[in-house]
């Protein structure tokens, strides 16, 4: 027989709770790391879309690089259009729901679908025009140095993620 027998009357081996906690922590960390890696590898979900208005034309990183007082001045111009842009987005969403309703309608009515798509196009165009007017108002207030900085940010934003040298790093004016 082996010499590793437990003597009668001795206490059974106790569970090491610290070891169990460390193993559980490792499992949670690996799960989180796996989720982050999967998100990075797969990218954003396909149902996401960019909300396009003045945001396409005025990069957030450009505004971040301005001093606080100047940033407040320029964002006030954008905020003046905020209600119109919000209403425009709601109108576009309503047209998307109208298209969904038209697609589900029985009997199927192609004219109803075309009307919903045409409404979506009209509301989107109106939203873009509102955003473009806000962007032009901001651009009209920029100094020559700020215009150059904004141009660099626009180029960097377009180059980001495409493997071009210096992508994502704004140049200094």
pLDDT of residue 169: 52
* Domain residue extents for the chain: 78-159
pLDDT of residue 160: 65
Classify residue 108 by its DSSP letter.
-
pLDDT of residue 3: 53
pLDDT of residue 51: 44
pLDDT of residue 102: 93
Dihedral of CA 52/58/61/64: which sign?
negative
Classify residue 24 by its DSSP letter.
H
pLDDT of residue 78: 81
Report how far apart, in Å, the C-alpha atoms of 164 and of each of 5, 153, 169, 171 are.
69, 14, 11, 14
pLDDT of residue 5: 60
Classify residue 49 by its DSSP letter.
-
Among 163, 88, 78, smallest CA distance to 126 is for 88
pLDDT in tens, the chain (173 residues): 555 565 666 666 677 888 889 999 999 999 999 999 988 887 655 433 334 455 568 887 888 888 888 888 888 888 888 888 889 889 999 999 999 999 999 999 999 999 999 999 999 999 888 888 888 988 999 999 999 999 998 888 777 655 444 544 544 44
């Amino acid at each position: 027989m082996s010499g590793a027998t437990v003597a009668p009357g001795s206490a059974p081996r106790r569970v090491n709770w610290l070891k169990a906690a460390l193993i559980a922590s490792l499992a949670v960390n690996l799960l989180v790391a796996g989720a982050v890696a999967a998100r990075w590898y797969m990218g954003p979900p396909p149902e996401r879309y960019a909300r396009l208005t003045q945001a396409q034309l005025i990069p957030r990183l450009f505004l971040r690089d301005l001093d606080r007082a100047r940033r407040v001045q320029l964002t006030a111009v954008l905020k003046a259009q905020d209600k119109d842009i919000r209403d425009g987005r709601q109108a576009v969403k309503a047209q998307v729901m109208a298209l969904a309703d038209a697609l589900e309608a029985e009997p199927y009515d192609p004219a109803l679908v075309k009307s919903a798509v045409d409404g979506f196009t009209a509301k989107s165009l109106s939203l873009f025009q509102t955003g473009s007017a806000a962007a032009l108002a901001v651009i009209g207030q920029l100094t020559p140095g700020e215009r150059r900085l904004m141009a660099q940010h626009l180029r960097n934003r377009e180059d980001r993620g495409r493997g071009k040298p210096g992508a994502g790093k704004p140049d200094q004016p």
